[in-house]
Structure 1
């Protein structure tokens, strides 16, 4: 039985950025690769994983992914978010995995050690339904968050959590409110490790009110009283995701600055 798999959900019909998984990003050497290929390459570097799959309902993405060597699982077009797509893909496998990692297809800067830390957190504590990474935002990242909000762009997500790491809330707004002082803001990285039974339960639940308001799929777990463990990981390099067309230039600048091909 496969103990741990990585699923990379990818859809073509994003409202903010149609065709986003196929968007080309140029690295520091001038090499151009699609967003989904860069995310897949990041996933393939993770230790202790039995398989990596691109999961999609789109033939264009599937054909492209198979072209660069990825294993593909086709899902229905009824999945409302990446977590539901991961649940459907995992359920279709011949053997049921114990842990499913959702490495979102818009996160090419995902670090292997961050994924490994999440897998370890789920294995270590059986009360954890989901583990997800957070980093304390740098001044530069915090200013980008503020700039997104000032310009009414849907950008990165912030998280607040208990001392033991159990999540209290996630938001597209900057939380907690600082009252004019410089806040300690934790930037949420778009990555999850689910216990398989929790993932299966999620797919049977209706989207909650807060999930629909914020557009954040992980809030469904919190609204149902399930434990989402925030795992603080090292702030090393940048962690920007591709949410809007304007993020392409930001990511390419990071690639050049950090020597990513």
Structure 2
């Protein structure tokens, strides 16, 4: 199975302009940009044939080429990372069985998360797209609840059926649990959606032609377009193996991620 990993990155983020070029300091005190750390994460995945950064911004392109990444320039009109991946894949041409979208704001993504998606696409031929979900412990869930109370988006949650087919994704905490968890280590019924996607090339190519539905507009979650258009989204439960995980969504996330990198000994 031939696998292409695309890292979509744009400068003009609404919540955090210039986010891909934000410097993060690791355990050794060395600072590297968010986009470089995301590229390193992609390069560590086993079973991948090619990794590219897809952007519409010359500053990001220069930075990426500076640390050795292959860059594909895409249109500024791309509404989200999936559209940018679709354009990058079209530019590069066919020949890939799976296209992975490893978003440029998730430098802590463990390689086995992506490897699990690639394996799932091999064993679940009916899935148009696969994406990882991670069961929240009490501490993570309480962090999500605190962020929502403060008006911040701390993470996306997912619900799915017994066959792991996605039912819904939301920036709210779903399902409703009623209260915070007193035990930080407790397992909860809430699943954190990890913003990584593995697509069938045909479904990815169709995606930009589908109209944006009301749920995607309300939530601002690109994967909902697949669901609103009748596509099948497979949720793949992954194991953190003690690894902390967080996406960089807001400026307030920078010290949180740096603290996690220090605790895990990540450079």
**TM-score when normalising by structure 2:** 0.95
RMSD: 1.2
* Conserved 8 A contact 2:141-2:180: no
Deviation at 1:96, TM superposition (A): 3.6
Deviation at 1:179, TM superposition (A): 4.2
Q: 2:248 is matched with which residue?
A: 242
Tell whether 2:235 aligns with 1:230.
yes
> Whole-Å Cα distance in 1 between the matches of residues 214 and 169 of structure 2?
13
Tell whether 2:41 aligns with 1:36.
no
Q: 1:251 is matched with which residue?
A: 257
Q: Which runs of 5+ in 1 are unaligned?
A: none
Q: 1:209 is matched with which residue?
A: 214
Range with bigger deviation, 199-208 or 89-98? 89-98
> Whole-Å Cα distance in 1 between the matches of residues 143 and 254 of structure 2?
14
Q: 1:14 to 1:153 in 2, by over 3 A?
A: same
Q: 2:201 is matched with which residue?
A: 196
Q: 2:110 is matched with which residue?
A: 111
1:174-203 CA-to-partner distances (Å, cap 9, x unmatched) read: 000124586510000010000100101111
> Whole-Å Cα distance in 1 between the matches of residues 11 and 132 of structure 2?
26
1:105-135 CA-to-partner distances (Å, cap 9, x unmatched) read: 0000111111011011112121000000001
Q: 1:147 to 1:180 in 2, by over 3 A?
A: closer
Q: Secondary structure at the match of 2:249?
A: coil
1:58-83 CA-to-partner distances (Å, cap 9, x unmatched) read: 00000000000000000001100000
> Whole-Å Cα distance in 2 between the matches of residues 179 and 12 of structure 1?
38
* Conserved 8 A contact 2:7-2:102: yes
> Whole-Å Cα distance in 2 between the matches of residues 204 and 95 of structure 1?
18
Q: 2:126 is matched with which residue?
A: 127
Q: 1:163 is matched with which residue?
A: 162
1:31-88 CA-to-partner distances (Å, cap 9, x unmatched) read: 1000000000000001111100000000000000000000000000110000000000
> Whole-Å Cα distance in 1 between the matches of residues 156 and 180 of structure 2?
20
* Conserved 8 A contact 1:135-1:233: yes
> Whole-Å Cα distance in 1 between the matches of residues 22 and 139 of structure 2?
25
Q: Secondary structure at the match of 1:248?
A: helix
Q: 1:127 to 1:76 in 2, by over 3 A?
A: same
* Conserved 8 A contact 1:158-1:172: yes
Q: 1:151 is matched with which residue?
A: 150
> Whole-Å Cα distance in 1 between the matches of residues 146 and 7 of structure 2?
29
> Whole-Å Cα distance in 2 between the matches of residues 152 and 179 of structure 1?
18
Q: 2:225 is matched with which residue?
A: 220
Deviation at 1:94, TM superposition (A): 3.7
Deviation at 1:147, TM superposition (A): 1.1
Tell whether 2:6 aligns with 1:7.
yes
**TM-score when normalising by structure 1:** 0.97
Q: 2:25 is matched with which residue?
A: 26
